[in-house]
Structure 1
């Protein structure tokens, strides 16, 4: 960024930039939805890039909601426990690949800038702020530089969130004191508009969550994972894992890890484990497995007091206990008598191939 324009001190005015009312019942105008929130761990060099929503408050402050357990939340706790303000850069408009990385459950200790650079196979060029000491992308359209101070809160919310509800009612949340704004001429502000699923954001989240849960299963030592899919209507709440069973307890191991790992644990509601003949992306296959290979009395485990947030519509508005329960469902053939489980009534690959060779694909309307 060439610092084409700068506002500092008394000249800072967030009202110079568009802040849309994305949903008719939002509690305010959200200037940050498809943006980057850049912070740094106070005890290391780990730079985190998140996408925590940002509501315009006044000329030089914006309320921020960071869900419990998120990396930004954990480092905010560290700063506040030592009565220190947390420096922060906000980027409104940048390379969409960086926003994609910021929306992924990237492992602790890894910067989303590095993650994005790996995907692009070239480093993300950054500039270090002399106000916050934090980096921001060189291609940034708008950069807000400031800090979040311990004990300072303002009303924030509600906001139409990704589960499809105006979850998290109006509440007192921290806010960013903006010290300087850097922006290009005619800057482009990027937005993301969550709503009742499925929509574009849920597809993105389905893809990224599925990949990261699969990776965490393998890192945890769960073998023979053949597929993972977080379904679009519930991209955090409804996850299906397909495995090839190799030993007693394999199904439960896969279900527990997928339901509680960092990538899959946040607000999870249902984790379903299926055999490797079930395509986890096909809801018809999943429902068939649930209907024919799951004995509810024996094959559904309930986990309690699990990681959730105020965005969970099933948490009572008066509750401050941001935990939920979740079901881990075994929808696989019983391991003990798997070899004697009834065969699937479908055409074998060999017979299908022989028939197609004999009559030709066109006979069956196939190309």
Structure 2
């Protein structure tokens, strides 16, 4: 049994052994050039991760497209279908708590008592090899500018660590960070995200919030930062559950936060609610430039890093790019959690082309009238799914991952007037280019399940045209006679 990856470097070595890494020795610029190379590789499909070894003006290597195929993610997270990650959370939840969903939720924070998965604390680690205080500067990093219309250089794969001001439960979130000068950046945490929630709680007390931006860590911790884990669960615990082994942590030097001991780079500082700046535009994963909006300023107070760190980055733009593959893993790993709350759910898909907040398809085992709408309403009340714009609910005989099968179900089992639900004035993803207002728009649900008499369908249900077993068996038997082996 392979031990989980302890660092990004170990993962890079594994990529190389698997023929999944391309080293670029030619000198490249972090200003537009690297991003365009990464996008072209992703759009081409089934291309390796890329390590730029000679970046103009920097002695750091830049790693891109590290998680840009399902094969690489299977290697990174040591999982075939990723459902097992969510199943471990469900199993732990059921193991600790006897009955009642409310009690189960209340107990989630206490799961951190489970020793094997909980974080381990160290005095030092590879990330403490180089420590910079007053001299720390963003200019020491090969931060990319991705599109010509971007407002500047953006850290795109930084994991921002914050603590809940009351419970001290830690969160890691991936929020883009726009560099302003050598000490200041702008923290783009959208209003619905947990980091923004922590920030708001302290803003009410007119306090700055301490934050650390981690660049590059073991794959499970990187995945945990992106994953929308249940409220009240420490992200480092989730990382431990994902990798089946606790993550090693060290204390920051200038802020009271813990970060992965095996990280590549850690940027320490604070976010000041009284220092707002215009952030953006930025070419985002919708395929459009997100317009400039005011966001709070992050002030750098220190840097910890390895002696020879790898700068992990990602590029976004019109789908499908690297973030779509990471999103697919989130979709798979969170299916068991959705089923814990909604046992009738059979499968769930968020197509990459819909940038993950645009559209979700859910299949259910339908047993009573109106059940499809019940599932829609339940999922719109679940964490980040509250931002999903459109839900399509289908029967369990429809493959949610096959667009043709879904379109067939929508066009043969849904009536536009009867089966379309539209809800106005609901929270939307900040990046949604179509919503009438930023963060506020409408939802659409399509019930594409077979309707019953109780639901007002008074016609005879038409029988599916399927091949009979006898003919199927006959043609199976004779297939080689028609076409050879």
Please, what TM-score do these two structures have when normalized by structure 1? 0.91
TM-superposition CA deviations, 1:167-189 (whole Å, max 9, x none) = 2x122211111111111122111
Where in structure 1 are there 5+ consecutive unaligned residues? Answer: none
Shift of 1:258: 2.5
User: Within the alignment, does 1:252 sit opposite 2:369 as a pair?
Assistant: no
Shift of 1:364: 6.3
RMSD: 2.0
Whether the aligned pair in 2 keeps the contact of 1:245 and 1:335 (CA below 8 Å) is no
Secondary structure of 2:444's match?
strand
TM-superposition CA deviations, 1:326-358 (whole Å, max 9, x none) = 11111011032699411211214x336522553
Decide which structure has greater helix share. Answer: 2
CA distance in 2, matches of 1:301, 1:70: 26
User: Within the alignment, does 1:265 sit opposite 2:394 as a pair?
Assistant: no
Q: 1:78 to 1:365 in 2, by over 3 A?
A: farther
Which residue in the other structure is 2:111 paired with?
none
Q: 1:263 to 1:351 in 2, by over 3 A?
A: farther
CA distance in 2, matches of 1:45, 1:366: 67
User: Within the alignment, does 1:122 sit opposite 2:245 as a pair?
Assistant: yes
Secondary structure of 2:329's match?
helix
Q: How does 1:2-151 map to 2 (within 5 A)?
A: 2=126, 3-9=128-134, 11-30=135-154, 32-151=155-274
Which residue in the other structure is 1:334 paired with?
451
Which residue in the other structure is 2:350 paired with?
230
CA distance in 1, matches of 2:483, 2:374: 43
Q: 1:104 to 1:132 in 2, by over 3 A?
A: same
Structure 1 residues 336-345 or 283-292, which shifts more?
336-345
Whether the aligned pair in 2 keeps the contact of 1:217 and 1:254 (CA below 8 Å) is no
Whether the aligned pair in 1 keeps the contact of 2:164 and 2:198 (CA below 8 Å) is yes
Where in structure 2 are there 5+ consecutive unaligned residues? Answer: 1-124
User: Within the alignment, does 1:243 sit opposite 2:364 as a pair?
Assistant: yes
Shift of 1:294: 0.4
Whether the aligned pair in 1 keeps the contact of 2:137 and 2:300 (CA below 8 Å) is no
Whether the aligned pair in 2 keeps the contact of 1:244 and 1:276 (CA below 8 Å) is yes
Which residue in the other structure is 1:159 paired with?
282
Q: 1:42 to 1:366 in 2, by over 3 A?
A: farther
Q: How many residues align?
A: 356
Secondary structure of 1:189's match?
strand
Shift of 1:157: 0.9
CA distance in 2, matches of 1:211, 1:5: 36
Which residue in the other structure is 2:300 paired with?
178
